[in-house]
Amino acid sequence: MPDGRPFYITTPIYYVNDKPHIGHAYTTLACDVLARFMRLDGRPVHFLTGTDEHGQKVEKSAAAAGLEPLAFCDEVSEHFRALARALNISNDDFIRTTEPRHIASCQALWQRLVDRGEIYLGSYAGWYSVRDETFYTEADLIDGKAPTGAPVEWVEEPSYFFRLSAWGDRLLEFYDKNPGFIGPETRRNEVVSFVKSGLRDLSVSRTSFRWGVPVPNDPAHVMYVWLDALTNYITAVGYPDTDADAYKAFWPANLHVVGKDIVRFHAVYWPAFLMAAGLEPPKSVFAHGWWTNEGQKISKSLGNTIDPFDLIRTYGLDQTRYFLLREVPFGQDGDFSQKAMINRINADLANNLGNLTQRVLSQVQKNCAAAAPTLGALTAEDEALLAEARGLLPAMRASMEKCELHHTLAQLWAVSDAANLYIDQQAPWTLKKTDVTRMATVLGVLVEVIRILGILVQPVMPDAGAKMLDLLALPADARDFTAIARGPIAAGTPLPAPQGVFPRYETKTA
Ligand code: ME8
């Protein structure tokens, strides 16, 4: 039975101060794999990504580029849309915080917080980091800088405050009642101890620059960029119209995927804003780790940023998608290295899944008259391999629910390993001379395993998965997860001549 529960998943909205890099690609890709998996599993999915276009950082970058802020945002935001296209991202919506729908939504949320007594006018005196778009106390600073190493400046200005200090106990109670709210566990512990250490009211408006959402009834103020940015998640489902179909179907969101740098905003401020407004907090926030490049921190000053467009050009789209999600346990930090990338392409894709598909389908072509083989009586070995393949969907579902994306791939490749071992043990090339009925059964079992692997590999490698399924002549309506249980392709179905799905990556020698 397809699972009809709606699934709303979001990426962070990215600052348009700079071009996208591997980190942005990674988060968006992870969400795409989850979204595609849930869709193929029969769930109505809403997948949102977009760009965060207000605030001092963007205003300064625009000035440095000699452009009006909106013209600058139009240009950089387009790079993020181009990246989504290049990565074959299946987002349902792309939100920009400069859109009228979002400005209206922020102003409505603000007014609601004012009406409920959650926002008051005061004045802020303290440190601010434009790079982090974050307020810091004196005690937060390390050697005169933000804990992230970003420079800080002293700010004194009239400001509205959100009564965050009143929400500590209710947040702790919420985390307690919803143990799956923050993942992975280490991040959860950090958040809980941060909240336990006591929360201060949060400055939520600025008066020293103009590039933001105007505060209703007080145009001298623009909203703090994080209040504006987080609100995007409800804007996109129709807020302030809480009767909108999308809002009713998709809010609260199932999952906000974020990098570990912005957990506090999503797991502390965001649920507090929502609860204070009388709205439901999201169901979960999952923070992934940080990519380094050949062992080094990625930074513009080191000149070692990784351009995702380059990766796709060099290694191929599905290869890049697979590598990024397979190489590092989702939630942990990871290192990009050319060697590791090439190794994954050759060992996992070309030599493992690719070779399995190629050897099976070329034997079917030659020895089974280019048609799906007829299955005879099954041996214990046949049954065991088929059971492993049929057990994959529930196993992968369980891993996906826990955001263990790397593990779902390991599970799939374990079956590909088992199928490669089976073909070596059953040696259909020998059976061809001794027992063609048994040869057909062995190849038939393998075709069935390849069918299941092809269907399940689609979320991470949509194009390669489609190619595998094309080689099995599967119609479009036989490619989602419900098709897995339908069983083998009818014997005698003509199959096209096999073509390589996963080419080896040959290192160019001078
Ligand atoms: O924080 N490794 O936007 P941002 C892995 N606009 N992921 C990385 C990464 C790296 N080295 N570098 C960046 C913002 N990321 C706000 C968000 S949401 C309401 C507002 C990814 O452009 C990671 O997902 O600085 C991180 O959280 C995000 O990019 C930060 O993007």
Ligand 1 center from residue 130 Cα (angstroms): 15
Distances (CA, A) of 77 to 56, 61, 91, 297, 362: 16, 13, 15, 25, 46
**Residue from 26, 130, 223, 327 whose mutation best tests the ligand 1 pocket (most atoms within 8 A of CB):** 26
Q: Report which ligand 1 atom has the smallest distance to the Cα of 230.
A: 19
Q: Alpha helix (H) ranges present in 140-231?
A: 168-177, 185-196, 225-230
- 276 lies in a domain? no
Distance CA 241, CA 235 (A): 9
Distance CA 447, CA 441 (A): 10
DSSP category for residue 165: G
Ligand 1 center from residue 390 Cα (angstroms): 37
Residue 484 contacts residue 387 (beta carbons within 8 Å):
no
Minimal-distance CA residue to ligand 1 atom 8:
23
Ligand 1 center from residue 259 Cα (angstroms): 6
DSSP category for residue 508: P
Ligand 1 center from residue 199 Cα (angstroms): 24
Q: Report which ligand 1 atom has the smallest distance to the Cα of 18.
A: 22
The CATH number for 411's domain is 1.10.730.10
Ligand 1 center from residue 14 Cα (angstroms): 6
* Residues whose CB falls within 8 Å of the CB of residue 2, separated by 6 or more in sequence, listed in order: 41, 42, 43, 481, 482
Give long-range contacts, CB 8 A cutoff, 24+ apart: 130-136. 130/56, 130/57, 130/60, 131/57, 133/15, 133/55, 133/56, 133/57, 133/225, 133/226, 134/226, 135/202, 135/203
Count the domains in the chain.
1
pTM: 0.97
SS (H, E, C) 454-497: HHHHCCCCHHHHHHHHHHCCCCHHHCCHHHHHHCCCCCCCECCC
Residue 392 contacts residue 412 (beta carbons within 8 Å):
yes
Ligand 1 center from residue 439 Cα (angstroms): 53
Distance CA 21, CA 306 (A): 6
- 350 lies in a domain? yes
Minimal-distance CA residue to ligand 1 atom 26:
259
Distance CA 442, CA 379 (A): 10
Looking at this protein, which amino acid is placed at residue 219?
Answer: P
**Residue from 9, 22, 24 whose mutation best tests the ligand 1 pocket (most atoms within 8 A of CB):** 24
Distance CA 136, CA 126 (A): 7
- 437 lies in a domain? yes
**What tokens were used for 213?**
């959402």
As a whole number of Å, the CA-based R_g of the chain is: 26
Q: Report which ligand 1 atom has the smallest distance to the Cα of 292.
A: 11
Q: How many CB atoms lie within 10 A of CB 1?
A: 6
SS (H, E, C) 206-263: ECCCCCCCECCCCCCCEECHHHHHHCHHHHCCCCCCCCCHHHHHHCCCCEEEEEHHHH
Looking at this protein, which amino acid is placed at residue 132?
Answer: D
* HSE-up (13 A, CA, CB side) for residue 159: 21
Conformation bin of residue 66: beta by default, left when phi > 0, alpha when psi is -120 to 50: left
Q: Is the C-alpha dihedral spanning 138, 141, 143, 145 positive or negative? A: negative
Distance CA 226, CA 394 (A): 38
- 110 lies in a domain? no
Residue 397 contacts residue 2 (beta carbons within 8 Å):
no
Distance CA 439, CA 360 (A): 11
**Residue from 19, 29, 52 whose mutation best tests the ligand 1 pocket (most atoms within 8 A of CB):** 52
Minimal-distance CA residue to ligand 1 atom 28:
259
Minimal-distance CA residue to ligand 1 atom 7:
23
> Max CA-CA distance within the chain?
88
Distances (CA, A) of 28 to 47, 167, 305, 308, 412: 10, 31, 17, 12, 22
Q: Alpha helix (H) ranges present in 344-435?
A: 355-367, 380-390, 392-401, 405-426, 428-434
**Residue from 97, 231, 258, 304 whose mutation best tests the ligand 1 pocket (most atoms within 8 A of CB):** 258
Q: Alpha helix (H) ranges present in 67-167?
A: 69-86, 100-115
How is 257-317 classified by DSSP, letter by letter? EEEGGGHHIIIIIHHHHHHHTT-PPPS-EEEE--EEETTEE--TTTT----HHHHHHHH-H
Q: Report which ligand 1 atom has the smallest distance to the Cα of 27.
A: 24
Minimal-distance CA residue to ligand 1 atom 12:
23
- 236 lies in a domain? no
- 177 lies in a domain? no
**How large is the angle between the packed helices 405-426 and 380-390, nearest 10 degrees?**
160
Q: Report the residue count for the chain.
A: 510
Ligand 1 center from residue 290 Cα (angstroms): 10
Q: Taking CB atoms and a 6 Å cutoff, what residues make up the pocket around ligand 1? A: 12-15, 23-24, 26-27, 52, 229-230, 232, 258-259, 261-262, 290-291, 298
Q: What is the pLDDT at residue 510?
A: 46
ipTM: 0.99
- Paired with 52 in beta bridges are 15
Mean pLDDT, 10 residues at a time, over the chain (510 residues)? 87 94 96 98 98 96 96 97 98 98 98 98 95 93 94 96 98 98 97 97 96 97 98 98 98 98 97 98 98 86 88 97 97 95 97 98 97 98 98 98 98 98 98 97 98 98 98 98 96 96 82
Looking at this protein, which amino acid is placed at residue 296?
Answer: Q
Q: Report which ligand 1 atom has the smallest distance to the Cα of 291.
A: 2
- 190 lies in a domain? no
- 323 lies in a domain? no
Minimal-distance CA residue to ligand 1 atom 3:
14
Q: Report which ligand 1 atom has the smallest distance to the Cα of 52.
A: 6
Q: 371 is in which domain, residue-wise?
A: 338-486
Residue 177 contacts residue 194 (beta carbons within 8 Å):
no
Ligand 1 center from residue 436 Cα (angstroms): 57
